[in-house]
Structure 1
Amino acid sequence: MISVNDLSPAELAALLHFHADAGVEWLQEEEAVDRFAEFEAMKAARRPAAQAQQERPIAEERPLPGQRQTSPRPSAAARPAPASGPQPAIPDGEAVQQARFVAEAARSLSELKTAIEAFNGCNLKHSARSTIFASGDADSGIMMIGSAPSAEDDREGTPFSGKSGQLFDKMLAAIGLSRSSVLLTQVIPWRPPGNRAASPAEMDICRPFIERQIALAEPQAILLLGNFAARFFFGENDTIHGLRGRWREIAVAGRIIPTIASLHPQDLLTAPVNKRLAWNDLLVFQAKLNSLSLLRN
C-alpha cells in the first residue's frame, strides 16, 4: 500500500482532487473522536488490573489444568465514553446572515467577488477547487445564469467550460452574441461534490450572492439555463420543459427584470433532440433583446 508520505505534493493534490470529483466531501469520520482522551482512559482502565495482577500470589496467576487464562476486562465505568458529534462551525442560519451582510456591503462586482472568495460559511467551498464568479460584460444589460459549476467549470475556474461550453459558444453566436458581450454566471459559485444538487441550506446561503450580482449588474433581460436555475428563481417545482420558453418577471433589489428559461447546454449534449426547443427559446430571447435595443450590430 502506498503511503501519503511517498507522494509528492503534486501527486497528493491530484489524489485529493480525484476524491473531490468522485463526490467525497470530508476526509474525516462521521463523529469526532478525541484519541488522546481515549488513550488516557484506556491507560486508566488498565492500572487497577495491573495492580491486582501484581498483588495476587503467583499460584493465583497460573490457570488450573484445562482452564483458559483470560485477561481482565476494563469495567464499563472505565471505558471511554463516545465523543459527541462535531458541531458546525457556522450554523446555517448564521451563515445566511453573514452572506447577506457581506453581499450587501459590496459596492461593485469586483468587491463582491473578493467577498465571496473570502467567505467560508458554505461547505461547498471546502470541496471545490474554484469560486465561479460572473465574467463578461457587466454593462451589456444581458445576463445569463447557469445552475451550478460542472467539473470542467471547477477545473477551469470559469462558467460554461468543456464540451457544454463549446456548444454554448455556438448557441450565443447563432443569435449574434459572444461570451464577451454578455454577463455569465452561476446560481451556486462552488461545484457540489459529484455534481449533486445543492441542498436547501446551501441554496439559502448562496442566494444573497447571486442576487447581489444581479443588483450590481442591473441587467435588462435574463436567460436562465437549466432546471435548477429556473426553479431557483421562479419558485416552482416543474421540470425545465414546463418552465422554459415563456417570459416571466423576477424581482431583485426592487427591480423587475424580464426573465426566460431554457435548457442548459449539458442537457442538449445528453439529449440532442431537444436542440430545436433551445433554438426556439434563443429566438424568443433574441427578439426581446432587439426590442430593448441591446443587440449590437
Structure 2
Amino acid sequence: MYGNANIKQILDFYLEAGVNETIGETPIDHFALKPPVKSAPAEQTARRPLPTARAATVSVSAAKPPRPNAELVNHAKSVAADCATIDALKNAIELFDGCSLKELATHTVFARGNAKSPLMLIDRPAASDEDRTGLPFSGQSGELLSKMLNAIGLSEDDVYMTSILPWRPPGGRAPTTEEQAVCLPFVERHIELTAPQTVILFGEAASFLTGQKSGINRLRGKWLTMEYGETSVRALPMFHPAFLLEHPASKKIAWKDLLAIQSAINAAHP
C-alpha cells in the first residue's frame, strides 16, 4: 500500500497530525455517521434534590479554624515571662516542647547581630535557609538585606535581627493559628528584653505582631506604636527582601521605607 515509503516516517507524520491511537483495521467516515439519538432523562434523575440547610451549616462550620489550645498558650506566656535575660529566653525556647513546629525543624532560629542596638529587625517565618543555618535573614534574602542596610549607612553590626517564629513550618506552609499564638509570647518578650527604639517588621511579621489581617501591601510604610510591658517602640512594616527578589519593581517602594528609617534614626541620634 505504501510502496517504498519508510514506515517510521509515516508513523511520525501521524503523530504530528494528532493521530495517537489506533481503534480498528479500516478507516471510519465520521461525517457520514448519523448523530446518536439522545434519550430523555428520567424525571427522577433530572430533578435532583437540593442540599439541605443543615448540610450547608455543617460545611460553613467546618471551614472555621480551630481555636488555639488555651493551656499551651498560657504555658508559653508563663515560660517567656520567667526569662529575665536574652540568653535565658534563648535557652527556654530551645527547651520548649509545646509547639509542634519544633518536631520537624532542623534548627531553632533565634537571633543574630548587636543585641544592644536601638534598631531591631524581625524576620518572617523561617524558610529553608534559616532552618539550615539557625539564623534569621539567611541566604539571598540576607545578602539583599545587607545591601539595603549599607545603602542607609548601616551594617549588620548596627542592628539586631530575630525571627517571628523560632521554627520553620514544614514545607514552608503558613503557620496555624495555634502555632502563632504559642510562639507570640516569645517574640514579644524578646522585644521587651531588648528594648529597641525602632522595630522593622518584614513581610508576614507585620500582621503577626500587630494582629491585623491586612497584608503587607496595606501595612507597609505606616509607623505604628507597640507596647510591651514598660517598653514602647515604634514599628515600621516593610517588604521582605525575599519579596523584593521576586518583584524587583517594588525596590523603589522599599527605598522610601529605608529613607524613613534613616530619618528616624537621625532624629533620635542627631
- How big is the shift at 1:148? 0.9
* In structure 2, distance between residues paired with 1:179 and 1:157: 16
- How big is the shift at 1:104? 0.9
* Root mean square deviation, CA, Å: 1.3
* In structure 2, distance between residues paired with 1:132 and 1:253: 24
Which consecutive unaligned segments of at least 5 residues does structure 2 have? Answer: 1-67
Partner SS, residue 180 of structure 1: helix
**Contact 2:184–2:209 at 8 Å: present in 1 too?**
no
5 Å-filtered alignment, 1:121-270, equals 121-226=98-203, 228-270=204-246
- Counterpart position of 1:101: 78
- Counterpart position of 1:119: 96
Partner SS, residue 259 of structure 1: strand
Aligned residue identity for 1:198: P
* In structure 1, distance between residues paired with 2:75 and 2:242: 33
- Counterpart position of 2:50: none
**Contact 2:225–2:233 at 8 Å: present in 1 too?**
yes
User: Is 1:290–2:266 an aligned residue pair?
Assistant: yes
* In structure 1, distance between residues paired with 2:70 and 2:103: 19
Spell out, residue by residue over 1:41-84, the C-alpha distance to the aligned partner (whole angstroms, 9 max, x if none): xxxxxxxxxxxxxxxxxxxxxxxxxxxxxxxxxxxxxxxxxxxx
User: Is 1:278–2:254 an aligned residue pair?
Assistant: yes
- How big is the shift at 1:254? 3.3
- How big is the shift at 1:270? 0.9
How high is the TM-score relative to the length of structure 2? 0.73
**Contact 2:125–2:168 at 8 Å: present in 1 too?**
yes
* In structure 2, distance between residues paired with 1:248 and 1:93: 28
- Counterpart position of 2:24: none
Partner SS, residue 260 of structure 1: strand
**Contact 1:137–1:183 at 8 Å: present in 2 too?**
yes
- Counterpart position of 1:110: 87
Spell out, residue by residue over 1:102-124, the C-alpha distance to the aligned partner (whole angstroms, 9 max, x if none): 11111110010000000010000
Spell out, residue by residue over 1:248-281, the C-alpha distance to the aligned partner (whole angstroms, 9 max, x if none): 1111123321111100000001111101111110
Partner SS, residue 143 of structure 1: strand
5 Å-filtered alignment, 1:87-98, equals 92-98=69-75
**Contact 1:233–1:250 at 8 Å: present in 2 too?**
no
- How big is the shift at 1:96? 1.2
Partner SS, residue 202 of structure 1: helix
Partner SS, residue 199 of structure 2: strand
- Counterpart position of 2:3: none
